[in-house]
Every structure is written in structure tokens, then in C-alpha cells.
Amino acid sequence: MSTMFTNLVKSTQNLRWLAGLTMVLVLTPLSDARGDSLNLTAGPPFTFQSGSDLYVSFSVWNYGANNRGSSPYPTSVGLQLLGAEPSISKLNSVPNTSDTYFAGYLLQGWLENTEGTVSAPFTSPDAARLGLSPGFLLVSPGIFGSGSTPVAIIEADSALTLNLSEQIFGLDVASRGSSAVIHLRNRGNNLQIGIDGGYSLLSAISEPSITGYGPVTTSGVTQNLQMTSVPEPGSFTLVAAAGFLLSGFFSSYCFKRFLKSK
């Protein structure tokens, strides 16, 4: 009986060790949450993959510098994103307007503090007309520059109370470094961000119309751009399945050892 009990304890310890190892394998991130930085000043256009996330870090120090005597915290932040016009896509109409959008292309967007713990959605009037919740953004046809280059354009803004603005921009609101992040998620087809012809990514990503209690409207200053990579299909499932199968194998092994000791 003593030998049986000892073997049972050892089997239980093996299972506990295996369960811990399985959890480590399953829960360990496969990559950095915000991915690699992209070159803003010389970077060519890039593909914003379906299901991936884009993080645009920026500052609003110039808003406070141009509105001395007023709160340095903005109450509205604009967003403009330019990319290549999809070669194959149907244009749908927005009800009760002359506006159109590319079918199959959809983003979500939030304005966040640098830690990602406080956020406010970006909104688009056309997305609202389609009955979409705040945060969803349409991709529409537009023109870049002098009117000769067709592009895909995403335009939106995030309205903030002063209290929420203070939470998002924090104590670094007057810093020339990044004080907030625009977080975008691609909910539709792959979309090329950037403009061909030697233009930098700074030409395609901007934060126009920074407004607040002061009389002067400014633009944000883009600091950094990061994009996640889409995990290989089923990668998380494969890790979990491997852990499950390994757990089953050791469970069977330990149980057989226990039976042999009887």
C-alpha cells in the first residue's frame, strides 16, 4: 500500500509539472504586442493586413504652445489616413448623401494613452449613417495633392471631454515626445497605407484639426508608427493542441505506472 501511495504522489507531481509547462507554452506571447517600428520619413507604402493592428504615436505639444492661457489639453483630435485605391472593389453609397465607400474595407480606431489603459473611439459621420458603432471607420475614395492621384482615405475625429483628455494625454501633454497613441485595427481586406511616387509615410498619416478651448487649431506631430504581424493561421491553436496532447500522453503514462505498482 505504501508503494502504491508513493507512486500515486509521483504521478500527481508529474501531472502538476506538465500542467504548468503547458500553461507556459500556451500563454507565452509569440511576439511583441506592438510589433516593429516603420520608417516614417523614408518608408515606402506598406500593407495593413486584415486582422492586424497599427499604432501611431504622436504629440500635441504645439497646441498648448499656440494657445497659452488656455488649457493645453485638446477636446477634439482628427485623423487622416491615405492609401492606395483598391484595384478591385465595389463602391457602395452612404444613405442620404453623395458619399461612397469601398465595400469589404473597414477599420476600427481609438485614441489611447501611451499605456493603452484609457481610450476614446474615433467616429465617422458616414459610418454612423450606416448604423455602425463608434470606432468603426469606412475607407472612401479621395484625391491626393493637386487632384491627379486617386487614393483611399480614412477620415475621423475623436471628441473628448476635458477630463478624458487629461487622462489620455497625461502630464506629457506639453512634451515634444509622444503623449498619446492612435490604435487602428483592420477589420476588412488588406489595405495599402502610403502613397506611391516617393512620398514618405508622414504624407499619409496625420492628426489634423487639434482643437480645444483655445482659439488656435493645430495638427498633431507624428512620432512613431508600429504594426503587429498577423499570426500564422492556427498558431495559437496548434500550441494549445500540442499541450493538450502532451498532457494526455503523460496522464496515460502516469496512470499505467500506477496500475503496475498495484
pLDDT band for position 113 (cuts 50, 70, 90): very high
218 vs 9, residue with greater confidence? 218
User: What confidence score (pLDDT) does residue 38 get?
Assistant: 78
C-beta of residue 140 within 8 angstroms of C-beta of residue 153: yes
The chain-wide mean pLDDT, for the chain, equals 81
- For the CA atoms of 34, 40, 45, 46, the dihedral, rounded to the nearest 10 degrees, stands at -10
Q: Which residues contact 211 (CB under 8 A, 6 or more apart)?
A: 74, 75, 76, 217
pLDDT tens readout for residues 186-224: 999 999 999 988 888 998 999 999 999 999 999 999 999
Burial 198-209 (b: 16+ CB within 10 A, else e): ebebeebbbbeb
pTM of the model: 0.76
Tell me which amino acid residue 135 is: G
What are the tens digits of pLDDT across the range 15-66? 443 344 333 333 333 334 566 677 777 778 999 999 999 999 999 999 999 9
Task: Report the pLDDT value the prediction gives residue 257, as an integer from 0 to 100.
Answer: 53
Q: Residue 112 has which C-alpha cell?
A: 489611447
Closest CA to 142 of 185, 111, 105: 105
Instruction: Name the nearest CA neighbour of 116 among 46, 39, 165, 168.
Output: 168
